[in-house]
Amino acid sequence: MSDRTMDTVKQLSVRLASGEVSAVELAQDYLAKIQAANPALNAFVELNEAQTLIEARAADALRAAGQAGPLTGVPIAHKDIFCQTGWHARCGSKMLENFAAPYDAGLIERARAAGLVTLGRTNMDEFAMGSTNESSHYGVVHNPWQLDAVPGGSSGGSAAAVAAGIAPAASGTDTGGSIRQPAAFCGITGIKPTYGIVSRWGMIAYASSLDQGGPMAHTAEDCALLLNAFAGFDTRDATSLERAPEDYTRALDAPLAGLRIGVPKEFFGEGMSDDVRAAVEAALATFRTLGATTVEVSLPRSGYAVPAYYVIAPAEASSNLNRFDGVRYGYRAPEYRDLNDMYAKTRAQGFGEEVKRRILIGTYVLSHGYYDAYYLQAQRVRRLIADDYRAAFRDCDLILGPTTPTVAYGIGDKADDPLSMYLGDIYTTSVNLAGLPGMSIPCGFGAGGLPAGLPIGLQIVGNYFDEARMLGAAHRFQQATDWHLRTPPGKPT
């Protein structure tokens, strides 16, 4: 591990406010880091230096005029799933290879309004379908801790960029763990808010009832600051929740005395590696020393979360991806006989193997004769899983456990075994099915090629709209430990 320091969002905000550095200088510094490190990582798929510097100069002008907010001038990377004017929105796909977004997504609008400066667009699994960032049309993303390991997915480019120190923060999306799992694999902090807290307007859809955007950064404090910017009601999103604005930093320094932490017995059974178990148990002990108490809780239907998710998500994906037919926008097959042949060839050529697999599964479970047996049954299971969480939260304030059953594995290790890859989401999918907030923070290191091993993530799940308490607990843990301060070898200075 490196002993080099890293810049957090909070630290950059302080430096900008003091005049120690300008937004333009920061942007230029990070662009240079990206140019140096990205060839090995493949974390970014698009840079636009001219556009980045336009935004940085605008941020400096706001500071000069005394109109800056806490995030004005802070650089950020955006997952290539959000529509954003001035950039492509390729969604990791061949289908949208030449698509230039004509408007800003809701999250992008709010990031712009907060004064955040876009560094570039990060790589991702095609249409957010994957857990390894190996399905991207633009190549595999490499984990900065060990280049032959996966960074997780689908927000793997965002996680790798933050972990490598070439972006202080990034946006991501989480459908079944796509913020939390790569955060765990790359040793950073990431939060999936309560469903409906962050607008899905302009976020290219995978599974509409599960997708949620959120921030990825080094610390819980950074994620709280970014969530203040990202969250808010959006009339253009039918699933957006109309709630009074809140300050997600308000509980960062709250003491943990009296906090009840639920530990699901189902999360500590077969399938979890010994190194992950040891790190999570040590983290729970740290929380107890900070004044929290731990109680055993049960999520009896959690074992059904992965099969339910992999019925519901592909079903919604098969519907959402119907729009990519070669007629309106996106890729079109260059040669075809008639309209039906154009549809078939466009989709066959434009979609990758993992996307095709999920479209086929989704179409099958929605077909006549199978809708009741599969899709409707999965929705019933989804309700039971949410009921289990509600029952558990009667006995605790937060639920803690592993984010993933193992540390990051090698690139290509599960390429021929998609079922094994899907089972890696065993601890994260239930949170999306229930619509709850969840986050992952670094809590140790396990197996791997490095002397210190690869990062391990601790998952924190809160009750609905309890992001502030989650972030506060995570912040107090990070004040007492230094896992989140560890940086990969060779991280840019």
Residue 402, Ramachandran bin (φ over 0: left; ψ between -120 and 50: alpha; else beta): beta
Rounded distance between C-alpha atoms, residue 390 and residue 313, angstroms: 22
Using an 8 Å Cβ cutoff, are 189 and 441 in contact?
Answer: yes
b/e 214-232 (16+ beta carbons within 10 angstroms → b): bbbbbbbbbbbbbbbbbbb
d(C-alpha 229, C-alpha 394), whole Å: 31
Query: For the residues of 333-358, what is the DSSP string, one character each?
Result: -S--SSHHHHHHHHHHHHS-HHHHHH
Catalytic site includes residue 319: no
Query: Is residue 131 annotated as a catalytic residue, yes or no?
Result: no
Cα 459 to Cα 415: distance, rounded to the nearest angstrom: 26
Tokens of 283: 């983290």
With 0-12 CB in 10 A as exposed, 13-18 as middle and 19+ as buried, what is 18? exposed
DSSP 193: P
Closest CA to 10 of 290, 192, 252, 212: 252
d(CA 20, CA 222): 20
Q: Which is the catalytic residue, given 13, 22, 154, 155? A: 154
Q: Give yes or no: 136 in active site.
A: no
Sign of the dihedral through C-alpha 164, 115, 435, 88: negative
Q: How many helices (H) and strands (E) does the chain have?
A: 15, 11
| Cβ burial 439-458 (10 Å sphere, 16+ → b, else e) | bbbbbbbbbbeeeebbbbbb
- The active-site residue, picked from 131, 135, 178, 302, is 178
Helix (H) or strand (E) holding 434: helix 429-434
Angle at 50 between CA 17 and CA 227, to 5 degrees: 45
> Where are the alpha helices (H) located in 164-304, listed in sequence order?
180-186, 220-230, 274-289
Catalytic-role residue among 10, 33, 79, 192: 79
Residue 291 CB partners (closer than 8 Å, separation 6+): 255, 256, 257, 258, 259
Longest dimension (CA), the chain: 70
Structure tokens at 115: 């004064």
Cα 260 versus chain centre, distance? 26
| Dist. CA 278–CA 73, nearest whole Å | 40
Tokens of 479: 């004040």
Catalytic positions are: 79, 154, 178
